[in-house]
Amino acid sequence: MKFSIAVLFVLLAFAFTSCTQTQENQTQNKESELSKDSPIGVLKTFSDAKNNKDAETMKQTLSKETLETIGGVAKANGATLEEFLKRGNTTPLNKPEMPETRNEKITGETATVEIKRSSADKWRTLTFIKEENRWKMDFNKYMRELYPNMPK
């Protein structure tokens, strides 16, 4: 009888622990999903995908207009969009590490995040827009500010 009660307590403890861990895992998963759908979360996703040479994930984080621009640059360089993304030449994120960020501001369907690529670099603003109900990076505005004579 004592053995049966002990087994019952062990099973209950195991069940309670499993439920608690499942709830904690669900909470952590939900939090990580939410952080991915923030401008800084999208920036992190892009940075990780760039380091893993995952062009498909990189494309999912970029606005349609940005993809068109990068696709045009890639074509002019004799590469496909995917090849060009895998090379990692995506200014402003051409360094392997995630840039330092500050001042995330969201206003409706547009957001901005200030990024600093290196200690010598000044803070620059990266714009995000909502497309398909998700945040996407819009490099075009950044590139126009960096290179004012760049053709549209």
User: Domains (ranges, CATH) in the chain?
Assistant: 37-146 (3.10.450)
116, β-bridge pairs: 100
Comparison of pLDDT for 1 and 97, the residue scoring more: 97
CB 138 within 8 A of CB 69: no
Q: Fill in the DSSP letter of residue 132.
A: T
What strand order describes the sheet that includes 100-107? 100-107, 110-116, 124-131, 134-138
Question: Quick one: pLDDT at residue 22?
Answer: 46
Q: Is the pLDDT of residue 142 over 80?
A: no
Answer with the residue of higher pLDDT: 16 or 98: 98
Question: Which residue has tokens 């990780």?
Answer: 48
Long-range CB contacts for residues 70-74, cutoff 8 Å, separation at least 24: 70/139
The dihedral formed by the CA atoms of 142, 144, 150 and 152, expressed in degrees to the nearest 10: 100
Which residues partner with 113 through β-bridges?
Answer: 126
Check whether the bond before 39 is cis (ω within 30° of 0). no
Q: How many whole angstroms separate alpha carbon 137 and alpha carbon 69? A: 13
pLDDT one-digit tens code per residue, 100-138: 889 999 999 999 999 887 767 788 899 999 998 999 999
Q: Read off the pLDDT of residues 2-39 as tens digits, 9 standing for 90 and up.
A: 544 443 343 333 333 344 444 444 434 433 443 568 99
